[in-house]
Chain A
């Protein structure tokens, strides 16, 4: 089945706070090993096929780094 949702994270805005990771119920976000220009490991979308596009991660993100899409 095609995933119902997806997110895009602006890696430059991300500050590695981890709040999106704690609220995602489909375990779909993890820190990447890359560094952004501020020296943070930005969160990245795992795209494990289970994203529902629920928007919880984007609502929680203090830095407005997440956009959510739904089928």
Chain B
């Protein structure tokens, strides 16, 4: 029999440190599949966040750099401006990107920096133990919203993609998810499209927001977490293209 599916080459054979069923490792694999398919391993540079993915550089067999908490977009801006022929991505969770890193993210988008943000939205602070994140859903339980997030007390869940889509500096923003094989394949297609755009242009920020399961802090089994995303989370964060002014048709 012929091998039709295996781990991508640019994903190191290292065992992931993430919890069972966590969506982070799925996204890592998809990024590596796209890097392999575009043959860009020798010219890709990733920027790691603070959060559960803080040691993501252990898994990607490409150049990686660690940014201070939330500053991924500022670091990526610097790299891209010095090395414009490289493919640059930041990998950031909702705490990193939508809380402490809001300013850096917003201004990089407003300047139309030509790199790709890979934004992992799991509606919670993962690494620190499940506190409320800016993206936590109204009514959702977390260790700091033990009675459920209240709009009056805690504000509203932030839809970062819709927010950034209003800026002329952003060219392609899509919200995807990794809770089912269908959504995983769509995520990969979106990542590829963002990288292709970045490679063919010198202006415009691309961002793929990825809804990702955190079974540990949601206190669900991995299959239940994937169902909850479909039934609850996607009502607040609908999947699909939020903005697309690129001329690139779907990858593949």
Tell me whether A and B are bound partners: yes
A-B contact pairs, 6 of them (CB 8 A): A16-B20, A19-B223, A62-B20, A62-B21, A62-B25, A68-B6
The chain A residue with its CB closest to the CB of B21 is A17
Interface of B is mostly: mixed
| B82 on interface, CB distance cutoff 8 Å | no
Q: How far, in Å, is B146 (CB) from chain A's closest CB?
A: 27
Interface size class of B (residues with CB under 8 A): 20 to 34
Asked if residues A60 and B181 are in contact (CB atoms below 8 Å), the reply is: yes
Task: Count contacts between A and B, CB distance < 8 Å.
Answer: 79
What's the least CB distance linking A39 to chain B, in Å? 11
- Provide the bound-state CA to CA distance between A63 and B17, in Å: 10
**Residues in A whose Cβ lies below 8 Å from that of B16:** 13, 62-64
Known: A18-B21, A55-B4, A68-B5. A62 touches B223 (CB 8 A): no
Residues of A contacting B25 in the complex (Cβ-Cβ under 8 angstroms):
62-64
Residue ranges of B at the interface with A (Cβ–Cβ < 8 Å)? 1-7, 11, 15-16, 18-26, 29, 180-181, 184-185, 215, 221-223, 226
Bound CA span A18–B11, Å: 22
Residues of A within 8 A of B19 (CB): 15
Looking at the assembled complex, report how far the CB atom of B202 sits from the nearest CB atom of chain A, in whole angstroms: 34
The CA-CA distance from A40 to B21 in the complex, in Å, is 13
Contact with B along A45-71 (1 / 0, CB 8 A): 000000001011011101110111111
